[in-house]
Amino acid sequence: MTGAKTKSVAATGTSMRILTAIAESEGGVPMAELVDRLDLAKSTVYKHLITLEEHGLVVNHETGYRLGLRCLEFGGTARQYDGVFDVTKPELDKLAEATGELTNLMFEEQGKGVYVYTARGDQAITLDSRLGRRVYLHTTALGKALLASLDDDHVDKIVDRHGLPARTDETITTRSGLFEELAQIRTEGFAYNEEERLGGVGCVGTPLDTGDRRNAAISIMTPISRLRPDDTRHEYTEMLNQTANVIEVTLAHGQ
């Protein structure tokens, strides 16, 4: 029927629920735990796991089911479609070396932020910003930079869909507070995160102008104690701005 909404496939949705539950586990998930966590029949979970395992999407380890390396193959392909990753990666490597910090590239997809690359300097902190991790946009400097690059109607739709859940006591949890900060980011060109997703962690981020390729942002992540001095904050914003400029020029004229 013309104009009718296509119905999703329930079995595929179940497979995605299982894959998501496995991805959220650090060391593997036994089948019995998946059955309890997802409230599904044991036979259903078993059939989906066997199928996913046959296709390399999960592996059965001694500690339970883990994601298979086929997922890495898919993710590696997905982040390289439009050249943004290829251009940004070497520049973030240079920025990490110059600052000694952790530098990141995030894409916005379906209203959440997805970490697609991180580079480590010699003083970089170890965090949970592993590749593919999805986070609420309002909880990170990268995410707020991405939101600031969107129009208000688009931001409203994202908030309607995902809400503004708190991750720490510092997280923005009101729509008015979020829009007030986004206005400031649009004026200054930079977003800051001061312990809004993880205690003790600070970050400065800026959106990338990628033309019509995708919504992307880059950041420098550091212990909050290193970000708070004004001279360090100024230095990092300047270096981030220079890196963004190189990336944007290359995307506009070299890709």
> What pLDDT is stored for residue 234 in this prediction?
92
Q: Give yes or no: residues 69 and 85 share one domain.
A: no
Q: Give yes or no: residues 196 and 228 share one domain.
A: yes
Give the model's confidence band at 120: pLDDT under 50 very low, under 70 low, under 90 confident, else very high: very high
Query: Bridge partners of 178?
Result: none
Compute how many other C-beta atoms are within 10 angstroms of the C-beta atom of residue 14: 16
> What pLDDT is stored for residue 3 in this prediction?
45
- Beta strands 216-223 and 102-109, pairing class: antiparallel
Q: Give yes or no: residues 95 and 195 share one domain.
A: yes
Q: Is the pTM of this model over 0.85?
A: no
What average pLDDT does this structure show over 88-114?
Answer: 95
Is residue 4 a part of any domain in this protein?
Answer: no
Q: Give yes or no: residues 41 and 120 share one domain.
A: no
pLDDT at 209 over 80: yes
Percent of the chain with pLDDT over 90: 63
The alpha carbon torsion through 122, 128, 129, 131 (nearest 10 deg) reads 110
Among candidate residues 254, 242, 219, the one with its CA nearest the CA of residue 142: 219
Q: Give yes or no: residues 15 and 117 share one domain.
A: no
Could you read off the pLDDT of 38-87 as tens digits, one per residue?
A: 999 999 999 999 999 998 888 898 889 988 878 777 777 766 667 899 99
For all residues of the chain together, what is the average pLDDT? 89
Compute how many other C-beta atoms are within 10 angstroms of the C-beta atom of residue 249: 12
Angle, helix 10-23 to helix 42-54, in steps of 10 degrees: 80
pLDDT at 14 over 50: yes
Q: Give yes or no: residues 36 and 58 share one domain.
A: yes
**Residue 177 belongs to domain spanning:** 79-253
pLDDT at 4 over 50: no
Residue 93 to residues 90, 96, 196, 198: CA-CA distances in angstroms?
A: 5, 5, 25, 23
Tally the domains of the chain: 2
